[in-house]
């Protein structure tokens, strides 16, 4: 008779140990995947927040720094006021778009917080800065600059008319000059920290629209041209006199 071979199998304890090890490996694997997914989402949210701050900063840097100190003669026919007007939560100023933009030329910007609905947002209203013809309506455009706004505050650095000191003020209304700097503070509902933005204005004096478009420069050129012509004629006369002698 042939001897019977004994077959060795896994014991119950060995099977339980293997299953326990597999369970631990699966838990560790899914934990790693969850951490990776959360890190990816957190990174995307951080990039989105940085991009939003950059967009807002570039908007004010491009348009607020090139503010034109123009008198708003046609919007308020009965009173002459500077186009730059600001308080704690709204700001109006005139700047220009490049010729390649869809809205070239001078534009009147109004930046304000819209808290009528929750959550609040910062809105920008743009309209061409020129008088409308009779029966013509000026095209206006409104865009949302920042959403989910918790706090929006503006400040203006310049001479205080009451104290005579140069400091930060909450209002800049009915003045004949621009402030030296404008400070913008923004806080969102999600608690994301936004740095305080301060923009120095390049021009502080006032001017009319003709001065910005170059009419005054042309007159100065004419005066200089007359002076140059007169000098050239005097020189020519002196040369003729020398030749005759």
Q: What is the structure's pLDDT at 8?
A: 67
Examine residue 173 and state whether it is found in any structural domain, yes or no: yes
What pLDDT is recorded for position 240?
A: 47
Of 61-75, 108-122, 138-152, 169-183, the least confident: 61-75
In a domain, 74, yes or no: yes
Contact predicate 129/70, CB 8 Å: yes
When comparing pLDDT for 90 and 1, which is higher? 90
Domain-located, residue 181: yes
List the one residue out of 136, 140, 117, 115 whose CA is nearest residue 127: 140
Is residue 54 assigned to a domain? Answer: no
Q: Is residue 107 part of a domain?
A: yes
197-242: per-residue pLDDT in tens?
999 997 655 555 545 444 433 333 444 444 434 444 444 444 344 4
What are the beta bridge partners of residue 72? Answer: 81
**What is the mean predicted confidence (pLDDT) over 88-93?**
94
Domain count, the chain: 1
Is residue 236 situated within a structural domain?
no
- Domain containing 72 equals 61-212
Question: What count of Cα atoms within 13 Å lies in the side-chain half-sphere of residue 218?
Answer: 6
Does residue 111 lie within any of the structural domains?
A: yes
- Residue 25 domain-assigned? no
CA distances from residue 19 to 23, 25, 30, 179 in whole angstroms, order as listed: 6, 10, 16, 74
Assign 12 a pLDDT band (cuts: 50, 70, 90): confident
- In this prediction, residues 59-63 reach a mean pLDDT of 91
SS3 79: coil
Query: Which pLDDT does position 6 carry in this prediction?
Result: 59
């Amino acid at each position: 008779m042939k001897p019977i071979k004994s077959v060795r199998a896994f014991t119950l304890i060995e099977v339980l140990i293997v299953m326990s090890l597999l369970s631990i490996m699966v838990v560790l694997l899914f934990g790693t995947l969850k951490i990776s997914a959360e890190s990816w989402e957190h990174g995307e949210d951080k990039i989105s927040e940085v991009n939003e701050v950059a967009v807002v900063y570039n908007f004010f840097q491009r348009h607020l720094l090139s503010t034109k100190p123009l008198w708003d003669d046609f919007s308020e026919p009965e009173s002459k006021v500077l186009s730059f007007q600001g308080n704690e939560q709204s700001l109006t100023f005139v700047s220009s778009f490049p010729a390649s933009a869809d809205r070239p030329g001078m534009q009147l910007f109004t930046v304000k917080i819209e808290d009528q609905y929750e959550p609040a947002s910062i809105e920008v209203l743009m309209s061409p800065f020129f008088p409308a013809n009779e029966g013509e309506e000026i095209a206006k455009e409104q865009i949302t600059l920042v959403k989910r706004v918790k706090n929006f505050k503006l400040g203006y650095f310049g001479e205080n008319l009451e104290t005579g000191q140069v400091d930060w003020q909450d209002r800049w209304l009915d003045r004949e000059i621009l402030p030296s700097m404008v400070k913008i503070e923004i806080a969102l509902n999600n608690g994301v920290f936004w740095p305080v933005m301060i923009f120095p204005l390049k021009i502080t004096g006032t001017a009319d629209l003709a001065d910005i478009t170059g009419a005054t420069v042309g007159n100065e050129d004419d005066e200089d041209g007359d002076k140059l012509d007169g000098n050239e004629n005097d020189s020519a006369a002196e040369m003729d006199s020398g030749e005759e002698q």
